[in-house]
Amino acid sequence: MSTATIPAGAPATLPSKPAPRSRPVAAFLSTYVFSKDHKVIGLQFLFSTLLWFLIGGLLALAVRWQVAWPWSDVPVLGKLFAQEGGQMSPEFYTMLFTMHATVMIFLVIIPILAGAFGNFLIPLMIGADDMAFPTLNMLSYWFMWPAFIAFGASFFVEGGAAAGGWTSYPPLSTNPASSPGSGMGQTLWLVGLTFVGVSSMLGSVNYMTTIILMRAPGMTMFRLPMTIWAMFITAVLQAFALPVLTAAGFMQLGDRMLGTGFFSPEGNVVNNAMVGAGGGQPLLWQHLFWFYSHPAVYIMILPAMGMVSDIMTTFARKPLFGYRPMVYSIAGIAGLGFIVWGHHMFMSGMNPALGITFMVSTIMIALPSAVKTFNWLGTLWGGRIQFTTAMLFAMSFVSMFIIGGLSGIFMAATPVDIFIHDTYFIVAHFHYVLFAGTAMGVWAGIYYWFPKMFGRTMNEFWGKVHFFLTFVFLNGTFFTMHILGAVGFPRRLADAYHYETFHHLQPMNAFMTWCAIGMVASQAIFAVNFFWSMFFGPVAGRNPWNANTLEWTAPSPPGHGNFDFQPVVHRGPYEFSVPGMEKDHLMQTDPPVAMPAVAHPAMAH
């Protein structure tokens, strides 16, 4: 732990403290509740999403219970929903996996990356005192609450929460007669989705403006840390893709409530009930939905990639290998991300010739991902690795992303997809990307930036125990899903063992469920460590990891306005182990020094 030094250029006197407020309640509300400070908003996002992470995890456990031991009484949780003495009904099961995915995607991953880390880190890492639009920023958090309430309340309405899958394909989702969850639950689902969208859009506009306009003097675009590049490109992606989903959501609401017929074909009757005017096309929803939701997959991983790049350079004490290729490959993923949505629809009845186009673009999107992986390996090569908890999580992100990236190629190949489409192979794939990838990246980020958030470091020993258990159990849960998929084991079946092809797979599913239980239980270690360290952890200085980026020049935690001096940037974010220097890192704000000759001048900045 280094001692904090106030860099050169800091004013001799620090700004005086604001005058004490005369109305304590109003002061409390404006400081901690309706705060416009990006750090407070970031932490509000963090706490809310971590709570939903727990709920989403418990939903997943209930799903796993049914898959492993169909129709057996669910322990503990069974009492909560008390159906036939703890046994879950098939409609309850469909609701569980629908809401597990919905919660994890819309209330955890997207808001924890953009909302929590984006908010907290963007102004700090670019040297700004706050976001460009603090009020919009506050609203972006508070617009999550109608969504929290809509999704949360939907569990308690008649028919239960939405049960048409998180993709909500019509006519199952539009016709209330088709499923119990397609009643009020589905309407609330669409309302919740709309509010999540409003929140994301407010965030996106803010992030783009802030990153373009509010960088500190000397902070050129190509001196931005990877986290900021990833957040920036994600914001652009979000801003262009999201309106399509919002529009599609309103169209589905129209079909359900106003009698329009965007998605129901002529004379479509479900369970003797007809809805809407007809004349629509179910595939239209799939196109519109995936036009957003495929880019959303990248919205759910790019920021984690950026954070992992920053963390790995710090703990390898080495410049990032191929900074510009890393930036270009993020941009490449985002660009290609707009023309690959059709790979979700290879079996949908879409013209098979169109499938070929989408196959080519989808397989080619593996290229920028491969370039990123090689550059991460290049970053470790020749480094001096420090095994901190954050570093372990970051390296496991790379290890797991390799699996998730490669397994994607199977589904991208249209002929192979014929067999593995909608089987556990795809379930394995996206859990390797989103849990073993993004969630591990999120943990890396929490352990890494915790000192900046709360001024104290988390316990390293228990952090490593948490990492070890999570890593082992997640592989036990998800890796075996690949071979279940190879058997053709379909997803979303409440009980598949009555099929001759799948009847022998129960023991394997039971093993996976035990691992999943272990994985969720291990998070108790994290929760205790998190809250204990917040109050009793060792006090961290400004820069506990000897990192280079601007947030580490601010106090921990930074006060309102972030910096007690105006940061001026003199170099890129990854100047570690510069030869001939006293210390092994040059912060972005350190005064200019004579730099040594570099092996590849073209790559330096």
For the CB of residue 547, give the shortest distance to another protein in the complex, in Å. 14
* Cis before 592 (ω within 30): no
For another protein, the closer of residues 363 and 517 by Cβ is 363
Using the minimum distance from each CB to another protein, give the nearer residue, 115 or 319: 319
How many residues can be counted in the chain? 605
Nearest distance from C-beta of residue 280 to another protein, angstroms = 8
What does the alpha-carbon distance between residue 519 and residue 515 come to, in Å, rounded to a whole number? 6
Q: How far is the CB of 273 from another protein (least distance, A)?
A: 10
Which of residues 157 and 366 has its CB atom nearest to another protein in the complex?
366
Closest by CA to 409, choosing from 425, 424, 395, 422, is 425
| Closer by beta carbon to another protein, 35 or else 268 | 268
Smallest distance, another protein to C-beta of residue 19, A: 48
Our CB check for another protein shows the closer of 52 and 93 to be 93
CB contact set of 91 (below 8 Å; sequence gap of 6+): 160, 163, 179, 180, 181
Tokens 């008390």, residue located: 82
Ramachandran class of 546: left when φ > 0, alpha when ψ lies in -120 to 50, beta otherwise: left
Structural contact between residues 113 and 303, judged by C-beta atoms closer than 8 angstroms: yes
Helix (H) or strand (E) holding 474: helix 460-487
CB atoms within 10 A of CB 220: 10
Q: Quick one: 397 exposed, middle or buried, by C-beta within 10 A (0-12, 13-18, 19+)? A: buried
- CA-based max dimension of the chain: 80
Distance (Å, whole) CA 214 – CA 206: 11
Query: Whole-number minimum distance, CB 409 to another protein, in Å?
Result: 6
Task: State the distance between the two ends of the chain, measured CA to CA, in whole angstroms.
Answer: 28
- Compare residues 24 and 579 and give the one whose CB is closer to another protein: 579
Nearest to 44, CA basis, from 140, 143, 150, 116: 116
C-beta atoms surrounding 146 within 10 Å: 16
Q: Cβ of residue 372: shortest distance to another protein, in angstroms? A: 11
In the complex, minimum distance from the CB of residue 258 to another protein, in angstroms, rounded to a whole number: 20
Q: For another protein, which is the closer residue by CB, 131 or 427?
A: 427
- Closer CB to another protein, residue 333 or residue 496? 496
Q: C-beta of 388: minimal distance to another protein in Å?
A: 11
Neighbouring C-beta atoms of residue 578, cutoff 10 Å: 17
Nearer CB in complex with another protein: 109/494: 494
Q: Shortest distance, CB of residue 115 to another protein, whole angstroms?
A: 29
